[in-house]
A and B are shown apart, each in its own frame.
Chain A
Amino acid sequence: MTAETPGAREIATQAAAVALRNVDKWYGHLHVLRNVSMTVARGERVVLCGPSGSGKSTMIRCINRLEGHQKGEIVVDGIELTNNSVALDRVRREVGMVFQSFNLFPHLTVLENCTLAPIWVRKMQKNDAKLLAMEYLTRVRIPDQALKYPWQLSGGQQQRVAIARALCMTPKIMLFDEPTSALDPEMIKEVLDTMIELADSGMTMICVTHEMGFARKVADRVVFMDQGEIVESGAPEQLFAEPRTERLRTFLGQILGH
């Protein structure tokens, strides 16, 4: 991926990376996504924010089909998400995800964590996979930890390994589900810096986060959700400075207050 200067980005005019059209989802009787429609263009960086239970995590988990939706369509990289497992496999190869609780494989070393999918999904040769993994581990600044086990690393290091692991599949879209929420404060910066660098390289990113500073720096668009609906959506400066709805005003008051 080529480096691009911040601010000189262009949003590709090709087909959208991710498109949600009138998506509804229920957990039993609980209506968690209400008629959600959203389009993310290639190279666009979107931050999803909102109070707990707003459906933001559920929405991104629907994008790589960790959760299914009952109504509406979700199209990722031109492929519609249905129960067709062949299509789902193709989608998952192009969409990387980073989780709040890292979810590294504890019985494998850092290097093995990163090479597992390239070897078994992309059918890469073991040595090629190792070289690829070392390249990404260097990019997230922890090449020296390659032979350690996840439990030997700090939380910030583990999350950076998780990012490298997802990147080793060379996805077109990266999803982040509150990547820094489980980290001690002093480790949040190293992970956010990694994500900023990734954003600068042109990766399409959809990020659920409470880190509004990150949103201001990196996001092309901030989407505010509440109770399963998209309430407001716009450029970060505009959304934070001039919230149009009471709900967003309340939310900003709560998180920016301290």
Chain B
Amino acid sequence: MQLYHWDFGFIASNLPYLLGGLAGTLRLAATTVVLGAAIGLLVGLCRISHARFPRWMATGYIGLFRNTPALVQLLWLYYAVPIVTGVQASPFTAAVLAFSLATGAYLAEIIRAGVSAVSCGQWEAATSLGLGYVPLMVRVILPQALRHMVPAFTNQTIDVIKLTAISSMIAYGDLVYHAKILAEQQFRPIEAYTALAVLYSAVLIPLSYVAQLVERRYPVAVKLSR
């Protein structure tokens, strides 16, 4: 076997270009998480509603986005949006749309699980006091449910950053896309993609640590009494 001659030199000189890609990744991820959280809250509340119509709509929506591959969702929306609206969506727009809708579906399930984890005694006590649905959810159930959702939510955020990698397929300038361009220009795919993995790890490993700190700060197992 011929020994491969590794040469990472070009990485250093092209670092600004790669970091530009990283900025693209983070911009896409942040937008996705924010929009996805909003969609997830709405869909999650519909999912646990007593009314049949919102519940069925939410269940259908969640089922659709959880049972199709993210890449398929991305490609379909990228080509469908111009047909529906008559306007060509930019790669960023299509990616944000696809990823927010998908993340919203996953977060809706996380919200449903978080709300279900709140003991039914809390619902009974709040109902007995005469609290209506809105103050009951906002003041009693959701504050407690949020604690249960923290680990799943931080996991989902990290997953979103990894998910954005497929946006390179529609030529969005994320980290993968920039690394791919660099690899093709320099004819050095293995160094380029190694650098890619290193850069992702450099972001995600500290982020996972931060997630752990957040989970520790808002633990689920709260003492019930002395």
Partners in one complex: yes
B208 at the interface (CB under 8 A from A): no
9 additional contacts (CB under 8 A) given A103-B121, A116-B135, A150-B225: A64-B128, A103-B124, A105-B125, A106-B144, A116-B131, A117-B130, A121-B132, A165-B129, A169-B130
- Closest 10 pairs between A and B when the two form their complex, measured CB to CB: A103-B125, A117-B129, A92-B130, A103-B121, A97-B128, A120-B135, A93-B130, A121-B130, A151-B223, A107-B143
**Closest Cβ–Cβ distance, residue A159 to chain B (whole Å):** 10
Which residue on chain A has the smallest CB distance to residue B136? A120
| Mask: chain B, 124-149; 1 = CB below 8 Å from A; 0 = not | 11111111100100011001100000
From B124, B125, B129, name the one whose CB has the most chain A CB atoms within 10 angstroms.
Answer: B129
Tally the A-B contacts, defined by beta carbons under 8 Å. 74
Q: B139 touches which one: A92, A103, A116 (CB < 8 A)?
A: A116
| Mask: chain B, 99-140; 1 = CB below 8 Å from A; 0 = not | 000000000000000000001011011111111100100011
Q: Is the CB of B129 within 8 A of A166?
A: yes
State A106–B223 Cα separation when bound (angstroms).
Answer: 9
Residues of B within 8 A of A154 (CB): 225-226
State A169–B140 Cα separation when bound (angstroms).
Answer: 17
B1 at the interface (CB under 8 A from A): no
State A96–B223 Cα separation when bound (angstroms).
Answer: 26
B222 at the interface (CB under 8 A from A): yes
Q: A99 touches which one: B121, B140, B224, B225 (CB < 8 A)?
A: B121
State A120–B124 Cα separation when bound (angstroms).
Answer: 16
Residues of A within 8 A of B226 (CB): 151-154
Residues of A within 8 A of B144 (CB): 105-107
Q: Is the CB of B129 within 8 A of A121?
A: yes
CB<8 Å pairs between A and B, sample of 8: A89-B132, A92-B128, A103-B121, A103-B125, A107-B144, A121-B132, A150-B224, A166-B129
**Closest Cβ–Cβ distance, residue B136 to chain A (whole Å):** 9
Task: Give the contact-size bracket for chain B.
Answer: 20 to 34
Question: A99-B121, A116-B139, A120-B135 in contact; A106/B128 too (CB < 8 A)?
Answer: no
A43 at the interface (CB under 8 A from B): no
Residues of B within 8 A of A64 (CB): 128
Residues of B within 8 A of A95 (CB): 128
State A92–B132 Cα separation when bound (angstroms).
Answer: 10
A101 at the interface (CB under 8 A from B): yes
State A149–B224 Cα separation when bound (angstroms).
Answer: 10
Residues of B within 8 A of A107 (CB): 143-144
**Closest Cβ–Cβ distance, residue A178 to chain B (whole Å):** 13
State A162–B222 Cα separation when bound (angstroms).
Answer: 19
A66 at the interface (CB under 8 A from B): yes
Residues of A within 8 A of B125 (CB): 97, 99, 103-105, 162
**Closest Cβ–Cβ distance, residue A206 to chain B (whole Å):** 13
